[in-house]
Amino acid sequence: METRFYLAYLAKGELEDWYQEIITNLYDKFNLVELKEKKRLAHITVKDPFLAENLGDVEKIVEGLTKREEEIVFDVSGIGHFENQIVYMGAETNLKGRRYIQRILDEFKTRKYEMSRYDQWGKMLHMTVAKRKESGGRFEEVLAYLKENEKKFLVPFDNLVIMGKNRGESGIHKFFEIH
């Protein structure tokens, strides 16, 4: 049976702490029960969701992509939104980082995995904070609150995680350290 997976960078340290704190603050300030119950993991999607039957093949692909010589950093900052539906914190990387992400996408494309229209050069890297349906009808207030409380983080792109979707919740299938 095929399952839907995606590939991500999993936030750690200060960025993860800020993310969890901001979710708690949104819940407390706006009573966003659905957002709190979502238990979304702080992550930056590198490869959009795809179907896979044999995760062994996916794991081999990712394992082969974890050896890298140069350090790559994400600049995670700025609050934005996609068509008033998703509030996110932006993420950017340098040209080496973009090339590395493109190498990941090319590897999946070569192996004939499903590619979304967003799986391409210039992909909008981001961390989803809240979706409209989780905002209790207060999307604009949530967006304004996040803009007032945004921070900037420079974090090493030091992991890749295969994440799976099950009943609307994401979970970690396997964590890979990049070295």
Render pLDDT for 45-86 as a digit per residue (tens, 0 to 9): 999 999 988 889 999 999 999 987 788 999 999 999 999 999
Closest among 165, 77, 64, 66 to 125, alpha carbons compared: 77
Give how many domains the chain has, as a whole number.
1
pTM for the whole structure: 0.92
CATH code, domain carrying 8: 3.90.1140.10
1-36 pLDDT, tens digit per residue, is 678 899 999 999 999 999 999 999 999 999 999 998
Rounded to an integer, what distance in angstroms lies between the CA atom of residue 166 and that of residue 157? 26
Q: What is the mean pLDDT of residues 124-129?
A: 96
Q: Which domain holds residue 154?
A: 3-177
